[in-house]
Structure 1
């Protein structure tokens, strides 16, 4: 029986590693730093003179961008004395916003090596390298000691993670008692199948969109109490409506935006995202939880 258990464990580990590679490959750009620099220069901005605000349109890869970050992160009551974990940090846009706005120290982790490398360079450009450290790694095996963070957040991350229980168990492990944990994820609204591709997945193979109740169950099973639960569906629909109107008025997308990350697939992924939202298949949901003392 022991050999069987070991074999099963190895198989499960291989499946997770294979999924991680596919997810990382989905987000890989290949020339991202140069593309961002070109977008800044089209606006007359040199990289060394760029601000957190200048980078906002491209480095916050979630519905609502900076406006969503403000609404979400303000609820965590982050203070300058805290060290905060950004899970699935991507390019570190939300980490930079949090460090600049709240004065906290931020550690970020993401699966995609290019995002981490480029993100740290962007921190250098805006003078926040001392406050933010990004590293490559998995949210299912966080490379941090127990109770080492005063708070944590993740934005549009859980859709790429099947095992929500292990994810939240790891977050609980590295948080101090009484710490706040914020989730801003795209979650299921009904039982209809999603239309793909979407920004986080080309097919359903690496997409694990779950219901809010699944998150709540995983949170409660790992010592969290849910304090807030906000459905941001209407905000999302208005965001995409405004984005489309601005693009049409300008005769095309701005120099920097999510299209820089998604490249040629943007024209298919964004309409599919909007269609899924409009049909009620998905909604961006905020959950604010507190680790029980």
Structure 2
């Protein structure tokens, strides 16, 4: 099995769309009447969910005339949020076929299939022509990619001069070994969490200029505290949430990630860069 196949297998669900449909119906929502907001709890597979997406994407100054690239788009939750909120057109690419297939159906449900196109493919060999996009972003993707030089070289290639590139990734903040499993990896074999300076170096080596960097650890800790309190108050998880994606492994992966955050081994970091032009 290739490395890409291992990553895709890690995220595979096998009955993802039916599980989302059940979660909506438990709330009295018919899929064809679902909104981007209704899907947010399950299709924003990153720390902080929709609130994190808004804080992050606002920094890219997205306009309705732009064509954006969502790298490692997953189910396309952030792409749908960007298309609805800012009016942009969004292309998304992800390794996992099930995510792409389910994500395009979700775009149909919320009436955004005319503004979003999701493709199965690799971030290390993007299926787009040079200078195709007015901006790009990736959310919790780099932790599965060892070769960040090639990753950022590909992003640079498909962006127009002067385009912004946003990164919201989990990065290492000390040299301690992580506790596994975590949402992005079962073991260290498929985990390539890097320090911020490694990201900076790879970005600058490929012609990007870094405009901003934000450590969102405090936000992340508060987010998980609220999530735990809400679960206790409700007597269990909500009908839709990250547990729908991770299934039975949620009970181990989320506490391990919180422990890694609490021990300051990792933190979610935002970086905003621009392609020199």
TM-score interval for Structure 1 and Structure 2 normalised by the shorter chain: over 0.9
Please report the RMSD computed on the Cα atoms of aligned residues, expressed in angstroms.
Answer: 0.5
Match of 2:85 among 80, 83, 101: 101
Match of 1:122 among 93, 106, 115: 106
Instruction: Give the secondary structure class of the aligned counterpart of 1:187.
Output: strand
Q: Aligned ranges for residues 275-286 of structure 1 at < 5 Å?
A: 275-286=259-270
- The structure 1 segments of at least 4 consecutive aligned residues displaced by more than 6 Å after TM superposition are none
Q: TM-score, normalised by structure 1?
A: 0.94
Match of 1:111 among 82, 95, 112: 95
Instruction: Give the secondary structure class of the aligned counterpart of 1:289.
Output: strand
Q: Per-residue displacement from partner, 1:5-53 (whole Å, max 9, x unpaired)?
A: xxxxxxxxxxxx7110000000000000000000000000000000000
Equivalent residue number for residue 35 of structure 1 = 19
Instruction: Give the secondary structure class of the aligned counterpart of 1:288.
Output: strand
CA distance in 2, matches of 1:228, 1:52: 28
Equivalent residue number for residue 80 of structure 1 = 64
Match of 2:194 among 210, 234, 257: 210
Equivalent residue number for residue 177 of structure 2 = 193
Match of 2:220 among 236, 243, 264: 236
In structure 1, stretches of 5+ residues that fail to align are: 1-16
CA distance in 1, matches of 2:91, 2:239: 29
Instruction: Give the secondary structure class of the aligned counterpart of 1:286.
Output: strand
Q: TM-score, normalised by structure 2?
A: 1.00
Larger radius of gyration: 1
CA distance in 2, matches of 1:267, 1:233: 21
Equivalent residue number for residue 274 of structure 2 = 290
Q: Per-residue displacement from partner, 1:160-196 (whole Å, max 9, x unpaired)?
A: 0000000000000000000000000000010000000
Q: Aligned ranges for residues 1-293 of structure 1 at < 5 Å?
A: 18-293=2-277
Number of aligned positions between the proteins: 277
CA distance in 2, matches of 1:270, 1:109: 25
Equivalent residue number for residue 11 of structure 1 = none
CA distance in 1, matches of 2:127, 2:11: 22
Instruction: Give the secondary structure class of the aligned counterpart of 1:270.
Output: helix
